[in-house]
Amino acid sequence: MIDKRTGHIRLDKGGKPLLPGEPEDVFLGAHERRATLVVENGEFRTYAIAFPHATAQACFRANRLWMVAIELDGEGDSGWSSWSPESEQRRDRLHAELLRQDLNEPPYRFGWGTVESTRDPRTGDSKIVVTYRY
């Protein structure tokens, strides 16, 4: 999923990975069919992208990819109707387990950026957040 040497993120087999600092137009050329603009605020734009087993938000600053938030689909995940604190805890554990497989033990700090598994106690939302340096 995340290449610890390069910061490339691959969420579907055979698809084009998300790249640190990738120009927005290159990203759109590769993902325009499934990328939906959800936020536009000055130099910041965020696109939602649906993958077979995950949803990602690709955040651009000054037309360069600087952050990706990933939410993997959990077992039996069918939207808000199946949401519960327990299912979100399972998703959080899944995120942590996959990061350990790809990146070893935290903290996850690299020359290209950082990776965190986060859980917002107010919303109950769990995500993997990749923030790039460029």
Q: Is the pTM above the cut of 0.85?
A: yes
Q: If you average pLDDT over every residue of the chain, what do you get? A: 89
Distance CA 92, CA 31 (A): 26
Summarised one tens digit per residue, pLDDT across range 27-68 is 999 988 889 999 999 999 999 998 888 899 999 999 999 999
Sign of the C-alpha dihedral computed for residues 77, 118, 106 and 129 taken in this order: positive
Where does residue 79 fall: left (phi above 0), alpha (psi -120 to 50 degrees), or beta otherwise? left
Q: Which two tokens stand for residue 51?
A: 């993958």
Paired sense of beta strands 35-41 and 113-120, if any: unpaired
Tell me the percentage of the chain whose pLDDT exceeds 70: 93
Is residue 79 scored above 80 in pLDDT?
Answer: no
Is residue 75 scored above 70 in pLDDT?
Answer: no
Paired sense of beta strands 54-61 and 113-120, if any: unpaired
Q: Measure CA 119 to chain center.
A: 13
Domain definitions of the chain by residue range: 24-132
Distance CA 97, CA 108 (A): 13
